């Protein structure tokens, strides 16, 4: 099956809502798509061809979902270290692909390549998710988003011109800037990073705002803790539903409005939950390993996300079948409180370094004191001193007067005892320092 026909088949499932009801039929369909993706990667992608050859005979002979265990797990660092031509299919040219940059939960920058048809399909999956959460075709949406993620397929824009799926965007600056941009607007649905929505909700709490009355909110990209959820609902006076998404494979799971568990998008991804390399049972917590059934330009096969989830037990009251989660622990990102009460979005620093420092292997940005910020870097090789100084100077300009900024180089950045990374962490004030969240998140 060609990538074009593969996309058409998946788009047909999404647009027509055609889902096999029998779990055995669904599993068989996923296994066929999985086998096709693995065979395609072996034929066209040098990175995976070497991976399969190193794993021994039969490692790429996939007939059932259980056969995935024959393939070694791939890490973000391994993909980052490989030359671009090694991780892309020979059927695509990098200059013809959409490129997205992400640091994930670990602070390891990675460029993700997608064809336009894949990007369109992944947007369709997001649309289907929003429909499942309660989106109506004529709803007005506002999305608070990072400036780096602005692409939407032309077909979506055409629908907006007809009055369907209307969406406006607000740049994710400081919470005060986001709040100012939202005041006086109307939205049926408000979407954004969970931490950003919570901080804006705290600003709006108690303010009489006659226009912004969302029917519900959609969070994502950061861990939705109990405290964040309560703050969002209190500040906006509306329920919030969470999504679990990654740049590499798109939508992974969404929160069921009936039960609160997360339904895995199992017709476009295969999600494994592993503990010490073995599959977890219902009720157990483990790490997430995903395989995209969509992406061929840059295949994602048994890719470790460095997130932790817990498998749900029993059937969902909504009647939906398939894999479900009842706990998702992904990224946690802080804002920085600077001298004079200024609140700062550290993504401004991260975006600068990720876009200009190809030798950036891993990083974390830590606010040690109100007037002191350090960027800790694990470099790949020896970076040019003039580049370091130039970027450090621009970083000081972004932070503004009265804030010291320095760069530290380390051989490695270690996670917490629970295996968590905090790419942006404030030791001064954190929205995750609420006692309810500290207990829920575990040791940090």
Checking if the pLDDT of 148 tops 50, the result is no
pLDDT band at 397 (very low <50, low <70, confident <90, very high): very high
In the chain, where are the structural domains located? 3-114+247-329, 120-245, 336-441
Q: What is the DSSP string of 168-235?
A: EEEE---HHHHHHHHTT---SEEEEEHHHHHHHHHHHTT---SS---SEEEEESS---HHHHHHHHHH
Mean predicted confidence (pLDDT) in 293-315 = 95
Domain 3-114+247-329 identical in fold to domain 120-245: yes
CATH C-level class of 336-441: alpha beta
Distance CA 399, CA 339 (A): 10
- What is the topology classification, in CATH, of domain 3-114+247-329? Rossmann fold (3.40.50)
Distance CA 411, CA 127 (A): 42
What's the predicted TM-score (pTM) here?
Answer: 0.89
pLDDT value of residue 205: 85
For the chain, the farthest-separated pair of C-alpha atoms sits apart, in whole angstroms, at 66
SS3 label, residue 262: strand
Average pLDDT, the chain: 88
Distance CA 187, CA 196 (A): 17
pLDDT value of residue 34: 94
- pLDDT tens-digit readout, 246-267: 999 999 999 999 999 999 999 8
With pLDDT > 90 as the criterion, what percentage of the chain qualifies?
Answer: 65
Contact call for residues 217 and 239 (beta carbons, < 8 A): yes
* Of 340 and 86, more confident: 86
Residue 210 CB partners (closer than 8 Å, separation 6+): none
Mean predicted confidence (pLDDT) in 380-409 = 95
pLDDT value of residue 2: 47
- Strands 216-220 and 240-246, how do they pair? parallel
* The token pair that represents 410 in the structure block: 């380390």
SS3 label, residue 303: strand
Distance CA 127, CA 140 (A): 13
Other CB atoms within 10 A of residue 80 CB: 16
pLDDT band at 152 (very low <50, low <70, confident <90, very high): low
* The token pair that represents 6 in the structure block: 């593969």
CATH number of 120-245: 3.40.50.980
């Amino acid at each position: 099956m060609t990538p074009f026909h593969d996309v058409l088949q998946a788009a047909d499932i999404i647009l027509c809502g055609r889902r096999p009801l029998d779990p055995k039929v669904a599993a068989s369909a996923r296994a066929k798509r999985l086998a096709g993706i693995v065979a395609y990667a072996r034929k066209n992608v040098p990175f995976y061809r070497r991976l399969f050859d190193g794993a021994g005979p039969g490692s790429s002979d996939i007939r059932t979902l259980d056969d995935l265990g024959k393939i070694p797990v791939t890490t973000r660092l391994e993909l980052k270290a490989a030359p671009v031509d090694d991780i892309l299919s020979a059927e695509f040219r990098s200059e013809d692909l959409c490129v997205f940059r992400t640091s994930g939960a670990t602070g390891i920058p990675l460029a993700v390549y997608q064809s336009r048809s894949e990007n369109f399909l992944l947007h369709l999956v997001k649309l289907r998710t929003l429909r499942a959460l309660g989106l109506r075709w004529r709803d007005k949406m506002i999305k608070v988003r990072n400036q780096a993620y602005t692409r939407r397929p032309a077909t979506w824009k055409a629908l907006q011109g007809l009055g369907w799926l209307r969406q406006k965007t607000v740049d994710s600056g400081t919470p005060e800037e986001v709040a100012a941009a939202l005041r006086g607007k109307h939205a049926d649905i408000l979407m954004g990073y969970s931490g950003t929505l919570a901080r804006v909700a705290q600003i709006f709490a108690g303010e009489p705002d006659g226009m912004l009355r969302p029917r519900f909110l959609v969070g994502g990209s950061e861990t939705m803790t109990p405290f964040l959820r309560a703050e969002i609902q209190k500040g906006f006076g509306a329920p919030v539903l969470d999504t679990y998404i990654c740049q590499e494979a798109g939508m992974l799971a969404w929160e069921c409005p009936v039960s609160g568990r997360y339904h895995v998008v199992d017709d476009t991804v295969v999600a494994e939950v592993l503990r010490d390399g073995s599959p977890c049972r219902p009720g157990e917590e483990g790490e997430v390993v995903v395989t995209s059934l969509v992406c061929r330009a840059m295949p994602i096969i048994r890719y470790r996300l460095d997130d932790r989830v817990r498998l749900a037990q029993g059937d969902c009251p909504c009647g939906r079948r398939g894999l479900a989660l009842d706990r998702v622990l992904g990224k946690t990102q802080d804002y920085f409180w600077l001298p004079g009460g200024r609140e700062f979005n550290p993504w401004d620093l991260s975006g600068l370094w990720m876009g200009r420092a190809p030798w950036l292997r891993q990083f974390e940005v830590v606010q040690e004191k109100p007037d002191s910020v350090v960027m800790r870097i694990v470099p790949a090789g020896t970076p040019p001193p003039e580049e370091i100084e130039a970027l450090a100077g621009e970083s000081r300009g972004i932070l503004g007067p009265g804030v010291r900024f320095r760069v530290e180089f380390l051989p490695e950045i270690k996670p917490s005892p629970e295996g968590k990374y905090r790419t942006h962490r404030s030791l001064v004030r954190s929205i995750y320092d609420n006692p309810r969240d500290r207990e829920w998140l575990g040791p940090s």
